[in-house]
Amino acid sequence: MVNMFALFLGITTLATGVIWCVDRFNIFNSKKGSSKASGQIGWWLETVASFFPVLSIVFIVRSFLYEPFQIPSGSMMPTLLIGDFILVDKFSYGIKNPITQTKLISTGYPQRGDVAVFKYPKDPSLDYIKRIIGLPGDKIVYNPYNKMLTVTPNGATVQGGAGVALPIIYTHIEPSSFIQIFSSSDKNSFYKVTQGENKQGGLRLDIRRETIGNVTHEILLVDKAQSQASAYYQQPGQQQASWIVPQGQYFMMGDNRDNSYDSRYWGFVSERNLVGKAVAIWMSLDKQEDQWLARIRLGRIGAIH
């Protein structure tokens, strides 16, 4: 899997670096035994060379440290809203070759509860963001009726697949501050509306807290949503809505549970596809999908949990 943007950025940085060296060390002029003259290297070469320091910093930071992303949909609400601009820690899960995504140095491993960006397995040109629910070897069961999870660590290695389930704590379901307006297309709108108020054609979403291990986060639910279990990914040898995570792969779910196209529908994410851990919101615009003019939500800037 080749990261085409990283490849383009790398080639551009290398090319400007070569030109920078030619300009910096006066290679052409030194061969002629003359002093440097702007007309000999050309003003355009000097201009191109001036981009090298900036491009090299961008390449290093984006490839190995932090990469910015924008949240385009509501699948991770209420943790992340449409219009949030986030920073993704690239070294949380290992330093990788930015072009081939091959791991070079191991610096850490994904944990349950992490909010992670990854390449969508069915189309690696697309970046997805979800919460890590299942680690390699875990047995995951999702009840589409009460919308609760069961996670059994190392469930695949226990005889009969019946191990000790991880304690998962749920709070009572309550009305949230979000209203969803459904449309005939896949692009639904979400609005934050005060309790007691409504929006024409909208449905108020429910909210509850979910605690997996030592990670607590809020999830949204659509009370009237019908079970979509028939559309779930059917893993060979497993019952419907039940999965055992293969080695080297992860099970992902969105926090907006009834509005998330995730591992329940298309399967697992390979470690190779992981981009990094989402750690902070650095800017947020109050907008809907495909909308650009919007006010800034200063109150959302900060760490991601």
Active site positions, annotated: 75, 130
Token pair 């389930």 is found at 165
Structure token pair of residue 31: 């061969």
Mutual orientation of helices 4-24 and 52-60 as an angle, nearest 10°? 140
Residue 30 in 3-state DSSP?
A: helix
Please say whether the beta carbons of 219 and 262 come within 8 A. no
Bridge partners for 285 per DSSP:
296
Q: What is the 3-state secondary structure (H, E, C) of 116-170?
A: EEEECCCCCCCEEEEEEEECCCCEEEEECCCCEEEEECCCCCCHHHCCCCCCEEE
Q: Report the alpha-carbon distance of residue 94 to residue 7 in Å, rounded.
A: 19
